Chains A and B, each alone.
Chain A
Amino acid sequence: MQFNWKIGGEAGFGIMTSGLAFAKIATRSGYNIFDYAEYPSLIRGGHNTYEVLVSEDTLTAPKWDIDLLVCLNKETFNLHKYRLTDKSMVVFDPEMFSPDIPCIQIPIGFTQIKKTEKIDQMMVNTIAVAASIALLGGDLNVFEQLIHQQFDRKGEDVVNFNLRLAKIGYDEAMKSTLLKLDILKKKDVVKQKMVIAGNEAYCLGAMAADCRYYASYPMTPASSVLTTLAAWQTTNQMVVRHPEDELSAINSALGASFAGVRASVGTSGGGFALMTEAISYAGIAEIPLVILLAMRPGPATGIPTWTEQGDLLFGVHAGHGEFPKMVLAPGDSEEMIELTMKAFDLADVYQTPVIVMSDKFLSESHISPDKETIDHLLQNHKIRKGKIVSDTKESPYLRYKLENDGVSEMLVPGKKGVYYQANSYEHVEDSHTTEDVGMRVQQVNKRNAKIQTYFKNDFELPKIFGDLTESEIVFVSWGSGKGSILEAQKLLDDKKTAYIHFTHVYPIPEEPIKQLFAQCEGKRIILIENNSQAQFGQLLRMQTGISIKETFLKYDGRPIWPEEVRDFIIGKKQNLNSEKAEMKIQESKSDSQSQVSSENETSEEDIMNKLAQKMA
């Protein structure tokens, strides 16, 4: 059983706060959540939404049909009614509008309550969340505790005021419905669950990896890493800086890393573009660095608050010249923690830049892992620094000593009697500049040798979900594609499917991957990506010669929905009568931005794709 709650209102109404509160109420009542928020690149006036999917089972993606839509304005209803069914509940204010399609109507007089209680719009959220609890058979006490946690430091009056509003919302909803639902019914035993998004997972991973310096210039959707770590820094002793630009961010991080501390930067495509020269410097000077690249749809400013996997090839190829670099792409918050910790190890072990790829969908969508699991993950991480040492027996000390595995001893600066430079020019073993033919080739070979060492020691094959041997349909994707594909596999439970999930996306060794795909011969293989040019497909072809012909690509700024994957496979749209479809087409103002290529493509699929862009 999955239940999809969604709230919408004008930007500035406090939609994000109430959405997160609802998610925590669900997890504190004993349920799992997956949430997904949409907002324009505005502070006030645009339309914000937040949806929380609730279930007893683990959730990895959002769901198309909305079960309860809380409308704080009329626009919310108009923009989302095409995702409602006749069984959907709609909370609305009769003074603003009434639903004009069949649905379960729950009128609540927000406007009237605002007047009577003399409250501003932000406060209406409290009423709306409490009303939702009532409708779903939840325990108001869970919300009350949350209010205490949030407002206790603001004093008793603020707390009591919010508690009173919550009670009003709860009572109003009870008056409006005869339904007896137990969607949020509090469980007797509740495991502690975290509500955590990809960016927050990155913060935890970086902290557990002993990252001591983080520099970042704000850019959606990476900014919340900066603000989260900044808020933590006096407690965990990390130094977190917001410098003048991305160039300063990454070059200062390289300076800090040279001086011996683990360092990281985070940004999105535009800021990453500014950083690329320094990535190249890290490559030749062999300075460890972890870069979080949280993608959003470009080019240039693009659609800044939406999602896309459009910078994979840019990330992979970032930096002029030839040097080794590792690119990791977690598929969910838990993998984000694991791979972030690993990224810092790889950066140290191979003394080279490592990129962790995310996107708005992964960076900002919350999942609800058990706290115990995450604590275990963080506490049991054993840091590997490879050949980074604080003392050396080598004399003379050779920073760029030629080694077969490509990695030289890296001395943390400070030892008496020794000195060296992190040189952006080609250099001899002791780090002085050179243009010598032989040494140039030897140093290039040495750096390149790291790739083979990585393949041998640290590359991980893609994870397989489902039985690859038995499967008839094989999905291939990377990073944040994971969640929706796993959910789609459930929706397609009458078919034999498997999913090959790449997290170590670059570099990729040819032979083991060829062997893996040899097992897929004769099966229907579909590459699924949230971009228009099948970038991972290109990368896979480039690195292994494997070419996947059938693709499902989406690039309208919205994430891939499990239902879309299912419909692509079965080649038709369910529960979508033509009348309703026509209505939806009229709403859709622009042409389809989604592209599917399949022999099974139908006009209904076109319709669905047109609708996908309206998912705001």
Chain B
Amino acid sequence: MDNIGFDGYAPTWCPGCGDWGIRVGIKSALEQLGYDPSTIFMSFDIGCSGNMNDFINGYATHGLHGRSIPTAVGMKTANHEMNTIVVGGDGGIYGEGGNHFLHACRGNHDITVIVHDNMVYGLTTGQVAPTAKQGYKSKSTPQGIIEVPVNPLALAISQGATFVSQGFAGDARSLIEILKAAITHKGFSLVNILQPCVTFNKVNTYQYYLKHAYKLPEDYVQNDKKIAIAESMEVDEEKFPLGILYKEERPAYHEQISQLEAPLVKRAQFTDFAPFTSSFV
């Protein structure tokens, strides 16, 4: 029973969906790093992205829409020896769970957040997502969305994330490398993945990204916050940088809790209650 693989049920995504490539990326990255389903925590959000729960094996939660980050934070806190990965969509992570996202960046929780960014809600059949370009017309915004898009990269960098990257579902090879770096990074890692929704988004297609995305140059300096912010703002010009925009070393959340030298789940039970009852006398 030791030879277990990551392949779960056959995916039910639409043919051509970017999620296929992301799944391959995650699976390959984990395999290449030497993980198996028993050595990884996964926290799946709700949506087409989160449906990966049945397609990739692991000790996993498939919880509530928008809450995959706090769930992962709890999992990591309870057992920090387990590498912990969040898989969600732009709606769950930046919309419903936006508050959790920015606070997890601040805390530098040692989790890897992989976001399927397709600018649209797939599973609920095509409403607009928070990352959609202003004016994007969808079922829920027939006159075009009034809000400007969330900028996940700039948000993450400014709120204290220590690893901020962007990948493209159509370039699995580069994606694997980004994912490996993100999973290996100690601290909060964001991998925002540009993922065409072939069914509901007729604007941000594979062809669109081939035209609008670009790889960061090889001599790109990853640890300069100002450069990273400037690069993240390129999206305003409809340009999408691919690669690791920002990376710094800072102690992870659990490393700053003195109680967590040994994993919380593994320590012995505390039983010396007398000093506590005495304090009430």
A263 contacts B by Cβ under 8 Å: yes
Q: Are A254 and B63 in contact (CB under 8 A)?
A: yes
A256:B67 contact, CB within 8 angstroms:
no
- Let me know if A94 is at the binding interface, CB within 8 A: no
Query: A417–B259 contact, CB under 8 A?
Result: no
Contacts A204-B277, A416-B38 given; does A281 touch B63 at CB 8 Å: yes
Residue from the list A207, A245, A259, A281 in contact with B75, Cβ < 8 A: A259
Q: Which residue of B lies closest to A421 (CB)?
A: B60
A18 to B100, CA, bound (A): 40
Report yes or no: A248 in contact with B103, Cβ–Cβ below 8 A.
yes
Closest to B97 in A: A247
CB B109 to nearest CB in A, in angstroms, measures 10
Interface centre among A255, A263, A412 (most CB of B within 10 A): A255
Please state if B38 and A415 are interface contacts (CB–CB under 8 Å).
yes
B72–A413 contact, CB under 8 A? no
Would you call B258 an interface residue if the criterion is a C-beta within 8 Å of the partner chain's C-beta atoms?
yes
Cα(A416)–Cα(B270), bound, Å: 27
B209 interfacial by beta-carbon distance below 8 Å: no
Inter-subunit contact A247/B53 (CB<8 Å): no
Distance, CA A261 to CA B275, complexed state (A): 23
**Stretch of B149-157, B170-178, B232-240, B260-268 at the chain-chain interface:** B260-268
Please pick, from A237, A413, A423, the residue contacting B267 in the complex, using a CB distance under 8 A.
A237
Tell me the B131-161 residues at the A interface (CB within 8 Å): none
Contacts of B273 in A (CB 8 A): 204, 207-208, 375, 378-379
Of A215, A239, A417, A424, which contacts B257 at CB under 8 A? A239
A31 to B258, CA, bound (A): 40
The segment out of A79-87, A228-236, A299-307, A542-550 that lies at the interface is: A228-236
| Beta-carbon contact of A259 and B78 below 8 Å | yes
Q: Are B71 and A212 in contact (CB under 8 A)?
A: no
Q: A248-B100, A248-B103, A432-B54 are in contact. Are A375 and B79 (CB under 8 A)?
A: no
The answer, yes or no, to whether B17 is at the interface (CB within 8 Å) is no
Enumerate chain B residues within 8 angstroms of A396, measured Cβ to Cβ.
1
Contacts of A421 in B (CB 8 A): 42, 44, 53, 58-62
Tell me whether B46 is interfacial, beta carbon within 8 Å: yes
> Known interface pairs A248-B103, A413-B82, A417-B2. Does A255 touch B74 (Cβ–Cβ under 8 Å)?
yes
Across-interface contacts of B4 in A (CB, < 8 A): 417-419
Q: Which residue of A lies closest to B260 (CB)?
A: A239
Task: Report B-chain residues with C-beta under 8 Å of the C-beta of A196.
Answer: 280
Complex CA distance for A277 and B67, rounded to whole angstroms:
10
Asked whether, in the complex, the Cβ of A423 is within 8 Å of the Cβ of B53, the reply is yes
The answer to whether A263 and B74 touch (CB under 8 A), given A375-B277, A413-B79, A417-B38, is: yes
- Hey, what's the 0/1 contact readout for A242-284 against B, CB within 8 Å counting as 1? 0111011101111111111101000000000000011001000
Q: Which residues of A contact B61 (CB under 8 A)?
A: 254-255, 258, 285, 421-422
- Does B73 make an interface contact (CB < 8 A)? yes
Name the CB-closest residue of B to A378. B273
Q: Would you call B79 and A252 a contact (CB within 8 A)?
A: no
Q: Which residues does chain B contribute within 8 Å of A416, judged by CB atoms?
A: 2, 38-39
Q: Inside 8 A of A374's CB, which chain B residues have their CB? A: 277
Question: Are B78 and A256 in contact (CB-based, < 8 A)?
Answer: yes
Q: Tell me if B274 and A213 are in contact (CB < 8 A).
A: no
Contact B259 A247 (CB under 8 A): no
Residue of B nearest to A203 (CB): B276
Q: Once bound together, how far apart are the Cα atoms of A277 and B62, in whole Å?
A: 14
Is A515 positioned at the interface, with any CB of B under 8 Å from its CB? no
Chain A nearest CB: distance from B74 CB in Å? 3
Residues facing B in A158-191 (CB within 8 A) are none
Interface-centre pick from B99, B265, B272 (highest chain A CB count, 10 A): B265
**Quick one: closest A residue to B267, CB to CB?**
A237
Known: A248-B70, A254-B71, A419-B60. A371 touches B278 (CB 8 A): yes
Do A247 and B100 form a contact, CB below 8 Å, given A255-B43, A255-B70, A414-B59?
Answer: yes
CB-based contact A251/B63 at 8 Å: yes
Whether A414 lies near B270 (C-beta < 8 A) is no
B77 at interface (Cβ–Cβ under 8 A)? yes
Q: How far is the CA of A285 from the CA of B75 in the complex (A)?
A: 15
Q: How far is the CB of B68 from chain A (nearest CB, A)?
A: 8
B41 at the interface (CB under 8 A from A): yes
With a cutoff of 8 Å between Cβ atoms, the chain B residues found around residue A258 in the complex are 61, 71, 74-75, 78
A425–B9 alpha-carbon span in the complex (Å) = 15
Residue of A213, A421, A433 ringed by the most chain B CB atoms within 10 A: A421
Is the CB–CB distance between B64 and A248 below 8 Å? no
Would A195 and B280 count as touching, CB distance under 8 A? yes
Chain B residues whose C-beta falls within 8 Å of the C-beta of A200 in the assembled complex: 280
CA–CA, A396 and B64, complex, Å: 27
Question: Looking across the interface, which residue of chain A has its beta carbon closest to that of B274?
Answer: A375
A419 to B61, CA, bound (A): 11
Taking a contact as CB atoms under 8 Å apart, the answer to whether B53 and A433 are in contact is yes
Q: How far is the CA of A359 from the CA of B51 in the complex (A)?
A: 41
Q: Are A259 and B64 closer than 8 Å at their CB atoms?
A: no
B130 at the interface (CB under 8 A from A): no
Given A213-B74, A261-B265, A432-B8, CB of A422 within 8 Å of CB of B63: yes
Distance between B156 CB and nearest chain A CB, rounded to angstroms? 15
Taking a contact as CB atoms under 8 Å apart, the answer to whether A255 and B1 are in contact is no
Residue B192 interfacial (CB < 8 Å)? no
Contact residues in A for B72 (Cβ distance below 8 Å): 255
Smallest CB–CB gap between B48 and chain A, Å? Answer: 13
Q: How far is the CA of A235 from the CA of B264 in the complex (A)?
A: 14
Asked if B74 contacts A253 (CB within 8 A), the reply is yes
Q: Is B124 an interface residue (CB 8 A)?
A: no
In the bound complex, residues from chain B placing their C-beta under 8 Å from that of A371 are 277-278, 280-281
Q: What distance in Å separates the Cβ of B98 from its nearest Cβ neighbour in chain A?
A: 10
Residue A517 interfacial (CB < 8 Å): no
The answer to whether B41 and A413 touch across the interface, beta carbons within 8 angstroms, is: yes
Interface residues of A in 389-445 (CB under 8 A from B): 395-396, 412-425, 432-433
Give a binary string over B188-220; 1 marks a CB under 8 Å from any A CB, 0 the rest: 000000000000000000000000000000000
Q: How far is the CA of A193 from the CA of B278 in the complex (A)?
A: 9
Question: A260 — which chain B residues lie within 8 A by C-beta?
Answer: 78-79, 265
- Whether A113 is near chain B, meaning CB under 8 Å from some CB there, is no
| Chain A hits for B2, CB < 8 A | 416-417
**Most B C-beta atoms less than 10 A away, residue of A200, A237, A278, A383:** A237
Given A248-B100, A419-B57, is A259 in contact with B265 using a C-beta cutoff of 8 Å?
yes
Pairwise interchain contact B79-A414, C-beta atoms closer than 8 A? yes
List the B residue with the shortest CB-CB distance to A423.
B62
Report the Cα distance A367→B60, complex, angstroms.
44
Chain A residue at smallest Cβ distance from B80 = A259
C-alpha gap A215/B74 in the complex (Å): 9
Q: Mark B1-33, 1 if CB is under 8 A from A, else 0.
A: 110100011000000000000000000000000
24 contacts between A and B (CB under 8 A): A195-B280, A207-B273, A210-B269, A213-B78, A234-B258, A235-B275, A235-B276, A238-B259, A238-B270, A248-B67, A252-B73, A255-B43, A255-B78, A258-B75, A260-B79, A261-B78, A378-B273, A414-B79, A417-B1, A417-B4, A418-B38, A419-B60, A421-B53, A421-B61
- Across the A-B interface, the 4 shortest Cβ-Cβ residue pairs: A255-B74, A259-B78, A252-B74, A413-B59
A235-B275, A247-B67 known; 13 new pairs, CB 8 Å cut-off, are A210-B270, A237-B270, A247-B66, A247-B70, A248-B67, A261-B78, A285-B63, A416-B2, A418-B4, A419-B37, A421-B42, A422-B61, A424-B64
